[in-house]
Amino acid sequence: MWTFLRRRIVSSAVPLVVVVLGVFALARLTGNPASLYLPLNATQQMRDDFAARNGLDDPLWIQMANYIGGVLRLDFGTSLRTGEDAATMALRAFPATLQLAGVTMLLAVVLAVIVGSWAALKPNGLADRVSSFISMAAASIPDFWLAIVGIFVFAITLGWLPTSGVASGASWVLPIATLLLRPFGVLVQIVRGAMVSSLSEPYIKLARSKGASETRVVSRHALRNAAAPALTVAGDLAVGLINGAVVVETIFGWPGIGKLMIDSILQRDFAVLQAAVLVTAVSIFTLNIVIDLLYALLDARVRPAGSMRKRRVHVPATA
């Protein structure tokens, strides 16, 4: 298992390097920060001084070398906007995104397991058809459209919920509902398909013939074998939630890493943008490794060779 973990970490290093270089290049495409932080009548001398203070007067390859050296030292520079350490700003905003994505994913998994298992008990029945329609509709609705409609209906028209912020528990409702539908819809289909396959296995018929209750059959036998494919898809959806939070956090004013990225792009705050993207990338790579490990623990068929302990075989003595 340690060999498998080491191999996954090494394989994740290549895309991480691509992210580091890519975010540096893309950040510079947003424009010259001097046009935002200096007055319109700024002289050329003022512009030159601003560039020299912030290391923007060097050639791009030198700026990139300095940036990579800073990343290796865990020094991401300071914010042009506030003068604060960029890594500190990114790490302070990231827990809000994790909380939003974590609560959303937990609710999506619980609801999907309940609905998917219910639908799998009678394939092609009424419950199966209703759940399939709801799940496909949920998986097809764009997040940004749902967010705008939710604000218009529940915040502006009815006045039941706030439009933005995190001042109260009600502030969580619209962001979670917006992010919840797509992973819920996808997971219902995955759980339903895996449960239908598991419930048709011979060991399920044997458990039923021994008098096991339907609840025990579903929860203790079928659901455990259906967990592996659902876990893999749930991991991919969790990564998508972290990425998708950029749009949702901006719409709802959620103080997470996504909103910090958008603000940094608009304000051409290169250091903060680079730190925010890198923190997000590292968290996604870590999450993927954890998912692979959990999947290997749940399903012995995907464990790397040599991860199983060798069993001692006793050969009976012959006369």
Give the C-alpha distances (Å, rounded to integers) separating 145 from 71, 141, 148, 179, 246: 37, 7, 5, 11, 14
C-alpha 302: how far from its chain's center? Answer: 23
**What's the alpha-carbon Rg for the chain, to the nearest Å?**
25
User: Given a cut of 80, is residue 104 above it in pLDDT?
Assistant: yes
CATH number of 94-268+276-301: 1.10.3720.10
pTM of the model: 0.75
- Residue 62: the pLDDT is 85
- The domain locations on the chain are 2-72, 94-268+276-301
pLDDT tens for 265-287 read 888 888 888 898 888 888 888 88
For residue 301, the 8-state DSSP code is G
Mean per-residue pLDDT, 216-235: 71
Residue 268 has which token pair?
């051409």
User: Using CA atoms, how far apart are residues 145 and 175, in angstroms rounded to an integer?
Assistant: 12
pLDDT tens for residues 52-97?
Answer: 887 777 788 888 888 888 888 888 888 888 888 888 999 998 898 8
- Are 103 and 176 in contact, with CB atoms under 8 Å apart? yes
Residues 116-126 pLDDT 10s: 888 887 888 88
Residues 252 and 167: their CA atoms lie apart, in Å, by 12
- Closest CA relative to residue 187, chosen from 122, 219, 126, 231: 231
